Amino acid sequence: MKPQKKIQKEILNLITRQFKLDIELEHGISHWKRVKEIGNYLAKHTKADLKVINLFAYLHDSKRENENHDPEHGLRASFFIKELYNKDILNISQKQLNQLSFACEHHNNSKVKSDDITIQTCWDADRLDLWRIGVIPELSLLNTAIAKQEETIELAWKLGRK
């Protein structure tokens, strides 16, 4: 069995190799790392599944075809996740697959709701990184109590300014 760190590096390599955009742009690696950091912070309070959150961070925008309007990128990411799962690359349970797929597929549609704390935490982590493009996260679109706290919003702002 491979060590977890090696598996994570292999998954990240797969994601970045297939990424169609400049990895340094707004929806690339820096954004993914901030979503992971914000998601891990939120999960300390929400008790969400860290494995799903960390995979979401690197996969949710992995199928973007442009930096602007790309409403289908979440759906494409969901298909990509299922492909990786079927190849036994992700090493996650069926429940985690369902959470990750749903979170990625619908992360850019604020009309879709979920009662699942892991999915909510994923979405909040992504929305809290809107600072990077000069957008103030809208409190009404955040799902978890911790994401709406001033301290959390300030943390995300600082990360987005780096």
Residue 78, Cα to own-chain centre: how many angstroms? 12
Per-residue model confidence (pLDDT) at position 29: 84
When the candidates are 1.10.3720.10, 3.40.50.720, 1.10.3210.10, 3.30.70.20, the CATH number that belongs to 4-161 is 1.10.3210.10
Read off the pTM: 0.91
Residue 3 has pLDDT above 50, yes or no: no
Q: What is the pLDDT of residues 49-67, one digit of tens each?
A: 999 999 999 999 999 888 8
List the one residue out of 20, 89, 18, 21 whose CA is nearest residue 55: 89
CB atoms within 10 A of CB 143: 21
Sign of the C-alpha dihedral, residues 100, 104, 109, 110?
positive
Higher pLDDT, 133 or 71: 71
Q: What is the pLDDT of residue 22?
A: 59
